[in-house]
Amino acid sequence: MKRHWKGQWLLRLYPPAWRERYADEFAALLGERPASPRDSFDIVLGALDARLHTDAVTGRLVPMIKRLRSSEIGIFCASVLFGVAWLGVWQMRDPLPVWENAVRLHPEIRTAFVAVEVAGLVVFLAVLAGGLPLLLSAIKQAFAARRWSALALWLVPFLAAAALAGYGALASASWTAKQSAAPDAPLTPLAVALQLGLLALVALAIGGSTLAVALAVARGEPSARVLRFALAPAAVVTLAIGLGFVATVILWALTLGEAPELSSPFTMTIVVALMAAGTGVALVALRRGLRARAAPLAAAT
Amino acid sequence: MSTGFSDLGRFSDPSLLILASLAGGPKHGYAMMEDIEAMTGTHLGPGTLYGALARLEQRGLIEPLPAEDRRRPYRITGVGTATLREQLTNLGEFAAVGLQRLGAVRG
């Protein structure tokens, strides 16, 4: 017991960055194999080495992994912002006859719209490509460690989608039945309430799911390899968000000038603002991730 | 692609032992110490072990795995495997030449 206590005390000789990275596992090792006088001397030498080589010794890998992880969470949140804005662009097609007439007269509007559509598809696929390994790794770890709360966080998006689908089906059925019976009648208070409720539920589902996924990744311990792999799809997401933003700005300018009936200036302003925010967040997060990935190699050379 | 050990100084031998130990599968620190003692009779102190682990990790020769109850296993990477193979091959060639010369001396 006395030797065990001495070994743990010697840990304090190591620099803070080193302790942040290795203290837990080092203490666990000393718990299993208490330090002999020879080992205690070895620990002192190790602490001196760590203090003399603070750049060479990897106190940075934990910050590197944390920066990679926060970078990818940032890009995920940016993709959600982009997705919400993308839905705002998509609603320009409603009502369809007005849309078809506008793009027949101004085909460049359709071109810009398709560019935004493609950007959205690329963002979705790249998020899947980068997110699935993270998801599978996190589920595997959660099962192995029996961390059921971590698993619960990953279930939130699926539960939110199910709740949304159920409410949407009920609200839509009620509203459609009434509209079919009297197409020209104004919306009843119930129909208005149902639609507002649906909007609120959508906002809650998107916000709650984004937060749950971000927390699940932040609390999990994906390996450095999975995080490094996810950086490539994250870069693709960022590029697609940027291009989608540019296409949306062009679309905005075109609809304002040539087909204002397609969307209200207020709605498009919100859409562009959301996309700008998403682009900004993605760029900052990607830069952070690329610098974090490069840091250990730079330190080694 | 492999990475040489020339810049590891006094940690080059412990690093080689750690890579050889991890070539047999992921291990945490205590398991590495036990395995190295069983394999070679060499006792690695905790300070030396973690000094080498930190350097190997920084060079991408090993990577940490998620911690299990405070114990964090490590795994050898592809670069680490290539480096280990190169180092052991060089040592093998050196051992072969040395033994041949010893044989000539006795003869």
- Residue A253 CB partners (closer than 8 Å, separation 6+): none
pLDDT at site A301: 31
Residue A30 near residue A6, CB atoms below 8 Å: no
Weakest-pLDDT range from A12-21, A180-189, A192-201, A234-243: A180-189
State the average pLDDT over residues A83-89. 91
How is residue A73 written in tokens? 């969470």
A8 interface with B at CB cutoff 8 Å: no
pLDDT at site A2: 44
How is residue A171 written in tokens? 């609200």
Residue A68 near residue A218, CB atoms below 8 Å: no
A61 interface with B at CB cutoff 8 Å: yes
**Among B33, B51, B53, whose Cβ lies nearest the Cβ of A33?**
B33
pLDDT at site B1: 44
pLDDT at site A168: 79
A190 interface with B at CB cutoff 8 Å: no
Residue A240 near residue A122, CB atoms below 8 Å: yes
pLDDT at site A298: 37
**Among A22, A38, A225, whose Cβ lies nearest the Cβ of B50?**
A22
Higher pLDDT, B81 or A264: B81
Alpha carbon of A203 to those of A170, A198, A211: distances in Å? 18, 9, 12
Higher pLDDT, A78 or A63: A78
pLDDT at site A109: 92
Rounded to the nearest integer, the mean pLDDT of chain A is 82
CB contact under 8 A, B58 and A58: yes
How far apart CA A216 and CA A22 sit, in angstroms, is: 23
pLDDT at A177 > cutoff 70? no
How far apart CA B22 and CA B41 sit, in angstroms, is: 17
Q: pLDDT grade, residue A164 (50/70/90)?
A: confident
Write out residues 63-102 of A within 8 Å (CB-CB) of B.
none
Write out residues 21-60 of A within 8 Å (CB-CB) of B.
21-22, 24-30, 32-33, 35, 38-39, 41-47, 49-50, 56-58, 60
Expressed in angstroms, the distance from the first to the final Cα of chain A is 42
Q: Note the pLDDT tens digit of each residue in A92-130.
A: 888 888 888 888 999 999 999 999 999 999 999 999 999
Quote the minimal CA–CA distance from B78 to chain A in Å. 11
Using the 8-state DSSP alphabet, how is residue A14 labeled? S
- Residue A229 CB partners (closer than 8 Å, separation 6+): A130, A133
Q: pLDDT grade, residue A3 (50/70/90)?
A: very low
Half-sphere exposure at residue A10, Cβ-oriented, CA atoms within 13 angstroms: 27
Q: pLDDT grade, residue A1 (50/70/90)?
A: very low
CB contact under 8 A, A26 and B46: yes
How is residue A206 written in tokens? 């998107």
Say what the ipTM of the complex is.
0.89
Residue B19 near residue B61, CB atoms below 8 Å: yes
- Residue A188 CB partners (closer than 8 Å, separation 6+): A178
State the average pLDDT over residues A166-187. 67
State the average pLDDT over residues A28-44. 89
Exposure class string for B44-60: b at 16+ Cβ within 10 A, else e: bbbbbbbbbbbbbbbbb
pTM above threshold 0.80? no
Which residues of chain B fall short of a pLDDT of 50? 1-2
- Residue A135 CB partners (closer than 8 Å, separation 6+): A154
Three-class HEC string of chain B: CCCCCHHHHHHHHHHHHHHHHHCCCCECHHHHHHHHHHHHCCCCCHHHHHHHHHHHHHCCCEEECCCECCECCEEECHHHHHHHHHHHHHHHHHHHHHHHHHHHHHC
Write out residues 38-97 of B within 8 Å (CB-CB) of A.
45-51, 53-55, 57-60, 63-72, 77
State the average pLDDT over residues A31-58. 82
The pairs formed by A3-6 with CB atoms below 8 angstroms and a separation of 24 or more are A3/A34, A3/A35, A3/A36, A3/A40, A4/A30, A4/A31, A4/A34, A4/A35, A6/A35, A6/A40
pLDDT at site A16: 80
Residue in the block written with tokens 């698993």: A151
Q: pLDDT grade, residue A297 (50/70/90)?
A: very low
